[in-house]
Amino acid sequence: MSNPREEITFLMVKPDGVKRGLTGEIIRRLEQVGLKIVALELQKPSRKQVDDHYPKAPNWIHRLGEKTLATYEKFGFDAVKELGTKDAGKIGIMVRKWLIDFMTSAPVVIMAIKGVHAVAMVRKLAGNTMPSDAPLGTIRGDFSVDSAAAANREKRAVFNLVHASETEEEAIHEIKHWFGKSVIHDYDRTDDEVFK
């Protein structure tokens, strides 16, 4: 297990965040809690790059479909009427394609972020995947309004401003995938003095 202070994670400002000019606000929130940005870049991803970023495992795809079915149930929509099926696996495949369409629609800002429990902290700052369920005070809760029910009716992915790695292993994999050979920097924030 690595040192919790040295944990590193990956965050991406998605096309909706970049186009709405929220990159600065998102960076401000990360820095405000004491996390430090160790790599930062604007990129226009290819379909392959996004396709390789999101898992292809059937259980991950199934989970995407289940998120749709859960919000359809919550808001009283009929999946068969809207999407032609209530099979979570089939819906997951549709959602994954919409997600690639969305993620390649404009540039994204990628970041590697280091700090105390960085993975969990950044997920907490991002908030729930569905903006309709994300608490106020989180990035998604404060700046977005969307749900799978709304998005899938328009045959698109949920616009939720950011992607953040779920685990440290995923973060390491994603940093390598997005930054390739670019240098990940390191430096002491003045806050680091507090821990010494």
Q: Which residues are catalytic?
A: 163
- For ligand ADP, give the closer residue by CB, 142 or 191: 142
Both tokens assigned to 158: 């949920």
- Nearest approach, Cβ of 42 to ligand ADP (angstroms)? 19
- Nearest approach, Cβ of 180 to ligand ADP (angstroms)? 22
User: Which is nearest to 122 in space by CA: 114, 134, 132?
Assistant: 114
- Residue spans of beta strands (DSSP E) within the chain: 8-13, 36-43, 108-114, 162-164
- For ligand ADP, give the closer residue by CB, 38 or 100: 100
> Going by DSSP bridges, is the β-strand pair 162-164/8-13 parallel, antiparallel, or unpaired?
antiparallel
Using the structure block, give the residue that is written with the tokens 């396709």: 51
- For ligand ADP, give the closer residue by CB, 138 or 152: 152
Check: CB of residue 14 under 8 Å from CB of residue 161: yes
- Nearest approach, Cβ of 139 to ligand ADP (angstroms)? 11
Applying CB under 6 A, which residues contact ligand ADP?
64, 67-68, 95, 99, 129, 148, 151-152, 157-158, 160, 163, 166
- For ligand ADP, give the closer residue by CB, 90 or 189: 90
- Nearest approach, Cβ of 178 to ligand ADP (angstroms)? 15
Residue 32 CA: distances (Å) to CA of 7, 28, 62, 91, 160: 17, 6, 36, 38, 21
